[in-house]
Amino acid sequence: MTEANTQTFGTQVGSAVGVPSVPVTIKKRDGRVVDFDLEKIVDAVEKAFLASGAMQNRQVSRDVANLVLAKIIGGAVEGIPTVEGVQDLVEEALIESGFSQTAKSYILYRAERSRVRDVNSRLMQTLKDITFTKATDSDMKRENANIDADTAMGTMLKYGSESSKQFYEMCVIDPEFAK
C-alpha cells in the first residue's frame, strides 16, 4: 500500500482473523470521518441473519464482514469509504456468500431505516420552518385564515398538526397509500 493510500484511509483497524491490519476510516452520513469498526459490520450481518430466520454462528457473520473488508482493501471503494458504500458491499458479500434471503432482509431493513431518517429530517425541517419563518414567508403558516400562526398558540397548533400528519404518514398509514 502506498503512502497516499495510507493517508486516504486514516487510522488502523486490526484483529480480524486472517486479515492483516489495514488503515481504514469511514465517512458517516452526517459527514464526520470516524474509525472503521469491523465489529459493526459483524453485528449488522448477524442481525440480518436473525431477521431472515437463517441464524448462523457469529463466525459466519465475521466471514462476511471480512469479505467486505477485503473488498474495501481491494479498492472497491475510492477514497474514504462511506456508510452507504459499505452497506452496498455488505449486500454484495451476502449474495456472493449464498445468503440471498439474508441479503433481502438486509436490503429491506436499510430501506426502512432510510425512510425513517427521511421522515425525521423532514419533520425537523418543518418544525424549524414553523418556529423561525414569518407567516408572510410561509404558505404552511397561512393555510388557515382563522389562525395567526405567528402567535404562541398558533405556533403550537401548527406543531401539533404537522407532527401528527407526519407521524400518521410514517407509522399509521400503509406506505403504499401514504405517497
Same domain, 99 and 146: no
The predicted structure's pLDDT at residue 69: 92
Same domain, 99 and 138: no
Q: What range does the domain containing 21 cover?
A: 3-104
The predicted structure's pLDDT at residue 22: 61
Domain boundary among 104, 125, 155: 104
Specify the residue for cell string 469511514. 26
- Is residue 119 domain-resident? no
The predicted structure's pLDDT at residue 95: 96
Task: Please give the model's pTM, rounded to 2 decimal places.
Answer: 0.65
Enter the C-alpha cell of residue 144: 388557515
The predicted structure's pLDDT at residue 177: 77
Number of domains in the chain: 2
The predicted structure's pLDDT at residue 6: 35
* Ranges of the chain whose pLDDT falls below 70: 1-23, 178-179
Residue 157: CB partners within 8 Å, gap ≥ 6?
Answer: 147, 149
In this predicted model, what pLDDT tens digit does every residue of 3-55 receive, in sequence order?
A: 333 333 444 444 444 444 465 789 998 899 999 999 999 999 999 999 888 87
